[in-house]
Amino acid sequence: MSMPLSSSPAALPTLSFIGCGKLGQTLGRLWVRQGRFEVRQILTNSMESACQATRFISAGEAISSPAQLQAADIFLIATPDDQIAAASAQLAKTGCLQAGTIVFHCSGALPSSVLRPLSGQGALVASVHPIKSFASPEQALASFDGTWCGMEGDPAALQVLRSAMEAIGAYVVDIRTEDKLVYHAAAVFASNYLVTLLDAALQAYMQAGIPEATARQMLAPLVQGTLENVMRSGPEQALTGPIARGDTHTVQTQYRALSAWDRNYARMYKQMALHTSRLAARRK
């Protein structure tokens, strides 16, 4: 796909940021390093943060007002999720958009349809969600290669963004716009709720009299081995334990023991047992 605003066929596509925190700075620096885009402008809530972003990316003009925005081939709205719609509305009022301008965001929870009002001005909209922590841009830079990204939106926009993401070492996978929230919930299950589940295991070990530091050491090989088995053979084949063996007596007695200790953990155990029974049935 050719970019509509480049001055010549050899010119790099221009990219401007609306909001540019840790994720935006990481992507911007990677793209500049690879010679993928010409970073044009970086708009944030303050000139200080915009200047900090330009220094990290080593490119771009720092601005602090939407009125200063100029036309670009691509706009990345890299604000917090709850500000994306407002930033999109601001962009719509600037007159910067032309037919074929790409506008995208990197939210995991929001679909590209949050940008759909911009389509009336000819924009192509999309979302690209890197499944990665950006707590430290420096660490994210060093470890970005191999990061998976879920993408959805207008096909013409995805064609450009897929190439841009692959150029900095990402793996991309297409998802359905209407299933974006379910897609994001998968990451919550795999990351956030896994932490909660491991905390329950630690609390149970500690209730049995094992110090927390020792309990963590005990959990490490068990969790790592389970993860390796799931990744190698799939969850059905990796499942072990009393439910996989059909040992309902053990499950019932464990539930009663947990109920006597802590009803919240007992309810959690019961819910997990129900889902694990369904998983065991799939294997059979």
pLDDT one-digit tens code per residue, 34-44: 999 999 999 99
Pairwise CA distance, residues 152 & 174, whole Å: 6
Pairwise CA distance, residues 39 & 223, whole Å: 43
* The pLDDT value given to residue 10: 62
Is residue 222 very low, low, confident or very high in pLDDT (cuts 50, 70, 90)? very high
SS3 call for 124: strand
Residue 215 · residue 202 · CB < 8 Å: yes
Is residue 211 very low, low, confident or very high in pLDDT (cuts 50, 70, 90)? very high
* The pLDDT value given to residue 9: 45
User: Is pLDDT above 90 for 1?
Assistant: no
Mean pLDDT, to the nearest integer, of 80-107? 96
Pairwise CA distance, residues 153 & 175, whole Å: 9
Domain with CATH 3.40.50.720 in the chain: 14-175
Count CB atoms within 10 A of the CB of residue 280. Answer: 16
218 vs 8, higher pLDDT: 218
| Domain 183-283, CATH class in plain words | mainly alpha
Pairwise CA distance, residues 118 & 102, whole Å: 10
Please classify residue 44 by burial: count the beta carbons closer than 10 Å to its beta carbon, then call 0-12 exposed, 13-18 middle and 19+ buried. Answer: buried
* The pLDDT value given to residue 284: 66
Is residue 283 very low, low, confident or very high in pLDDT (cuts 50, 70, 90)? confident
User: Is pLDDT above 70 for 3?
Assistant: no
Tokens 């963590």 — which residue? Answer: 216
| % the chain with pLDDT above 70 | 96
Domain 14-175, classified CATH 3.40.50.720, yes or no: yes
Distances (CA, A) of 53 to 19, 65, 161, 165, 246: 9, 15, 21, 20, 57
User: Is pLDDT above 50 for 276?
Assistant: yes
Beta bridge partners of 153: 126
User: Is pLDDT above 60 for 4?
Assistant: no
Which alpha helices (H) appear in the chain, and where do they start and end?
22-33, 47-57, 84-94, 137-143, 155-167, 180-187, 194-207, 212-233, 235-238, 242-245, 248-261, 263-283
Domain with CATH 1.10.1040.20 in the chain: 183-283
* The pLDDT value given to residue 8: 39
pLDDT digits (tens, 9 = 90+) for 47-77: 999 999 999 999 999 999 999 999 999 999 9
User: What is the distance in angstroms between the CA of the first residue and the CA of the last residue of the chain?
Assistant: 49
* The pLDDT value given to residue 158: 98
> Strands 124-130 and 148-153: what pairing?
antiparallel
Closest CA to 19 of 101, 98, 103: 103
* The pLDDT value given to residue 135: 87
Pairwise CA distance, residues 284 & 275, whole Å: 15
User: Is pLDDT above 80 for 6?
Assistant: no
User: Is pLDDT above 50 for 2?
Assistant: no
> If you average pLDDT over every residue of the chain, what do you get?
95
pLDDT digits (tens, 9 = 90+) for 156-207: 999 999 999 999 999 999 999 999 999 999 999 999 999 999 999 999 999 9
Tokens 């944030």 — which residue? Answer: 44
